[in-house]
Chain A
Amino acid sequence: MKLSDVKEILDADVIVGTEKLDMEVKTAFGADLMSDVLAFAKAGSLLLTGLTNSQVIRIANVMDIAAIILVRGKKPPVETINLAKEFKIPLLTTKYILFETAGRLYTKGIVGCLEQVEDHRANN
């Protein structure tokens, strides 16, 4: 679906990237732990997170995340917004909690960027 559909489904506000709402997205990853985003998120995915500091943008940039959806109505600080503009990464915010955000997108066809982690990562 298009990012504009994501915005619609989540009743989200676009903070950065109104010009990129035509972008196609198919997968998503949700986490508040940036180490997990580094370990598991896939290029081209949406990142659903409740974290709003500039690390989110830098990680999204490094991992080629398509767009960031801030959940639980989070409003990012100005440094985060400026960095998102600099890296041209769309930044949206929705009032839905992470579970609802993921669920609403999933029922409309967005799937996880991976279903399960590999065994060696889960066993410890």
Chain B
Amino acid sequence: MFQFPARLAGAAVALTLAAATPAFAQQLELKLMAPAAPGGGWDQTARSMQQALVASGVARSVQVTNVPGAGGSVGIAQFVNGAKGDGNQMMVNGFVMVGALAMNKSPVTLEQVTPIARLTEEIQVIVVPANSPIKTAQDLAAAVKADIAKVTFAGGSAGGVDHVMAALFAGAVGADAKKINYIPFSGGGESLAAILGGKVTAGISGLSEYEGQIKSGKLRAIGVTSEKRIAGSDIPTFKEQGIDLVIANWRSVVAPPGITPEQKKTLSDAVEKMVKSDAWKEILKQKGWEDAYLGGDAFADFLKKETVRVTDVLKSVGLVKS
């Protein structure tokens, strides 16, 4: 009887999904691993894919499994070893996994998986408290150049996208990235409190996380990391302000090693169809995720370049020993 609630929820999921399945659904039955606990970004991505894949009729059923641990290191190890050659399995991953694998000296790397596609990305932002004397990215750059240790950055976990971004910012304005005073907090919530309370100089996070605070005027956004200014937004990009800092927290999906080219094509096609479906677009709008679909070899290339960039940054701040 104690299993009841989980089963009930499971049954309810199955029911809704079955009801939403159009009659022309293919026989594709997928297993999708979220290498994180329920609730985080990867889990939400996996569950959104599940929803969109089934609702758009690309797959008949999609089962999401959670394998949490060490920024995805536990999940990918299990995925690479356990799903080898299985053309019906995929795993969600993203920026954070690149750094986590390097820092944890994981024996399994992203070179071993079969890249399928990049799906979404989130623009990053640097904010300061509303009463801070820092008004623009150049003000912050000046402060960093004056005394880098005194400028405290609050953000997410060590080695994550926020940390990498702080180092890139320091590097881009000509300071020594090795000396950044980065203070990791678990999740955006805790760091937000520290920023609002004026305990740190600046905060780094995904734009959506701080959007409410920015709109209400409690935080001032001094720059976003997109290539071009976001439509309808009055927050300038770093590039506009003369600082070469472009980075995004991307999420992607990969397949196991050792699958045949046909299997890879089936999965790539399924993901491409899903990305183009109305169901997926609807989800992106709801969650405020940017569509960043990039498939095939272009994504494989991107993954390689990003791995090199992140690893270099982590080495420069001393998180990865070379």
Do A and B actually bind? Answer: no
